[in-house]
Amino acid sequence: MATKDSIYECEVCGNVVETLRGGIAPLICCGKPMVERFPQTEDKGNEKHKPVVEFHPDKIVVKIGEVPHPMEEKHHIEWIEFRRKDDFVIRKEVIDQDVAEATFEIPPQKGVVFAFCNIHGLWKTDVNPS
């Protein structure tokens, strides 16, 4: 069963799906059920994946990790997303950038920031500018 606003990944081909609405049937890719990726919130070891958020008067800047995350062919951040409770979502593909960073041209506001690493999966940070 697929749940609303969840991230699923195919363990065969690497397809990633974000659901807009839940449903009773499982998501299938390459003949196998896709795996739901639950966001991690605490970095462990040397790898740093947790989104770090900076608030500016007219924008939100998100960097991945206290130490910059590598952006190499074999290990990189694919996308960064800002989401509010009212279903407002804005996402930036960063896979072709030299740094794992996204600027969202929106005023500072409460929400959740997600990032997806091709090796270490889904990460999140709750944000509140006040």
- Structure tokens that stand for 117 in this block: 């690493």
46 is a domain residue: no
> Based on the domain organization, do 29 and 74 belong to the same domain?
no
78-103 pLDDT per residue, tens: 999 999 989 899 999 999 999 999 99
Residues 59 and 121 in one domain: yes
CATH of the domain at 33: 2.20.28.100
For residue 42, tell me if it sits in a domain.
no
Count of domains forming the chain: 2
**Considering the domain boundaries, does residue 43 fall inside one?**
no
CA 61/CA 21 separation, integer angstroms: 28
- Is the domain of 27 the same as that of 80? no
Kindly report, residue by residue over 41-80, the tens digit of the pLDDT: 887 766 689 999 999 999 999 999 888 899 999 999 999 9
For residue 4, give both structure tokens: 């609303």
Output b/e per residue, 89-125; b: 16+ Cβ within 10 A: eeeeebeeeeebbbebeeebeebbbbbbbbebbbbbb
Containing structural domain, residue 26 = 7-37
Segment 3-50, tens digit of pLDDT: 888 999 999 999 999 999 888 999 999 999 999 999 998 877 666 899
